[in-house]
Amino acid sequence: MNKYIKKFSPIIILSVSIAVFMLMIKLKPEAEFQKPKIIPQVVETLIAYPSEVRAKISSQGTIKPEHEISVTSEVGGKVVWVSENFLDGAGFNIGDTLMKIEKRDYELALISTESSLFQARLALEREEAEANLASIEWKRVGKGDASSLTLREPQLAQARAVLAAAEAAYEQSKRNLERTVIIAPFNGRVRRKLVDLGTNLIPGFRIADIYNTASFEVRLPIADKDIPFLGIPLDGTMLKSKDRPSVRLFTSYGGENFQANGFILRSESEIDPKTRMISVIATIPVSKINKSLKVGMFVNAEIEGLSYSGVTVVPRNSVKDDMIWIVKDQKLRRKSVEVIRLENDFAFIADGLNKNDRVLITRLSSYVDGMPVREN
């Protein structure tokens, strides 16, 4: 018996051990599975509110004079006086005397033509008297129709022609004398003065380049994508007052910020071969607000374009590939939308959003339709 026990004791011990182990596994309590708790991400939203929106078109340009002319001498002579305000960059007012040309020769010419005019008038009066006497005499002694020579008609016509020439010469002499004084034609500024005291001028000599300071203009190139929102003809036609879009200009100079208001007058009719863009011309009336503007300033412009109704404006980065995310019942939902314009940091949505939709404006690492979120 002991012999059998010794022989099978290892097997018995192993079997008992396995049985105990299996029993322990069977009786071991199962670990309770806990579903991971999902914490909704906190997000910010924007309430959709369709309204009337006007497109704003951005551009840049340089302020230039709207009216600039070259002043030329209409008579010859020596410059004998120059205004102290007739300097490069200096301003002047309409009617100011800018320069004087030596006038003695023109005064003498006026005296001479005035004398000739007086003599021509006397000659005409004398000839009219002679013609009148001839007519009376013919009626007294003549028969039939008198000839033109008898009535002194050729002599009378010649006297009248001489008087007309004398009057013209007198008017010309008077105008030449007036032209010895150079008068400012408008309120403006001297861009460049080309003559000085003692300069001998001839008719047509260029004296200075001046420009009007009553208004300035800016040439504003328009990007191809903005043309449909501009709403004006692009054929160079001058726009009527009621059809002129307003424009605001912004610039800074010398540590100060400046702003001015104006309106679009017309477009150019040709595309710039370098930029491949068409430009519009804005006029800037100089008022108290716009008085600080200077010719040559570089400005940023904001042009008022077409107006659209029922449009919702949302941050540009909330739209991608005509898709937008909204929050509904504390969950993300994806919507297809119609974007009619991207402008600076905003997108104009014409269709796809309902009033009071809560548009997601928080950027997330991932987006899943139905993902729970919590609004801030």
What is the arithmetic mean of pLDDT over 258-277? 90
Closest by CA to 318, choosing from 46, 14, 34, 42, is: 46
Give the relative orientation of helices 104-141 and 153-178 as an angle to the nearest 10 degrees.
160
pLDDT value at residue 156: 86
Q: Taking residues 195-211, what's their average pLDDT?
A: 96
Q: What is the pLDDT of residues 234-252, one digit of tens each?
A: 999 999 999 999 999 999 8
Residue 173 binned pLDDT confidence (cut-offs 50, 70, 90): very high
pLDDT tens string 152-170? 778 888 889 999 999 999 9
Please give the share of the chain, as a percent, with pLDDT higher than 90: 66
Assigned CATH topology for domain 43-53+308-375: 2.40.420
pLDDT value of position 141: 72
**Looking at residue 17, what is its pLDDT?**
66
Residue 175 is inside which H or E element, if any? helix 153-178
Using the predicted structure, report yes or no on whether residue 11 has a pLDDT greater than 80: no
Kind and range of the H or E run holding 247: strand 246-253
- Segment 271-285 shows an average pLDDT of 91
Q: What angle do CA 359, 361, 323 make, to 5 degrees?
A: 60
Q: What are the residues facing 362 on neighbouring strands?
A: none
Listed by start position, the domains of the chain span 43-53+308-375, 57-66+212-306, 68-101+185-211, 103-179
- Please give the pLDDT value at position 255: 85
Q: Mean pLDDT over all residues of the chain?
A: 88
pLDDT grade, residue 150 (50/70/90)? low
Do the domains spanning 57-66+212-306 and 68-101+185-211 agree at the CATH topology level?
Answer: no
Spatial contact of 57 and 230, defined as CB atoms under 8 Å apart: yes
Predicted TM-score of the model (pTM): 0.72
Residue type, 140: R
Which of 9-18, 33-42, 137-146, 353-362 holds the top average pLDDT? 353-362
- When pLDDT is averaged across residues 57-66 and rounded to a whole number, the result is 94
Per-residue pLDDT, 12: 61
Rounded Cα distance between 370 and 356, Å, is: 19
In the prediction, which pLDDT does 29 show? Answer: 58
Q: Which residue has the higher pLDDT, 32 or 267?
A: 267
What pLDDT is attached to residue 179? Answer: 96
Average pLDDT score over residue span 36-55: 87
Task: For residues 71-96, give the mean pLDDT.
Answer: 95
The model's pLDDT over 280-331, given as tens digits with 9 standing for 90+, comes to 999 998 875 567 788 999 999 999 999 999 999 999 999 999 999 999 999 9
Question: Which pLDDT score is estimated for 102?
Answer: 97
Architecture of the domain delimited by 57-66+212-306:
Beta Barrel (2.40)
**DSSP state, residue 80:** E
In 3-state terms, what secondary structure has residue 68?
strand
Residue 48, pLDDT above cutoff 80: yes
Which CATH architecture group holds 68-101+185-211? Beta Barrel (2.40)
Mean pLDDT (whole number) for 124-137: 80
Q: Which amino acid is at 352?
A: G
| 8 Å CB contact between 264 and 247 | yes
The Cβ-side half-sphere exposure at 41, using a 13 Å CA radius, reads: 16
Judged by DSSP in three states, 154 sits in: helix
Long-range contact pairs involving 223-229 (C-beta distance under 8 Å, separation at least 24): 223/59, 223/277, 224/276, 224/277, 226/55, 226/57, 226/58, 226/305, 227/278, 229/55, 229/57, 229/305, 229/306, 229/341
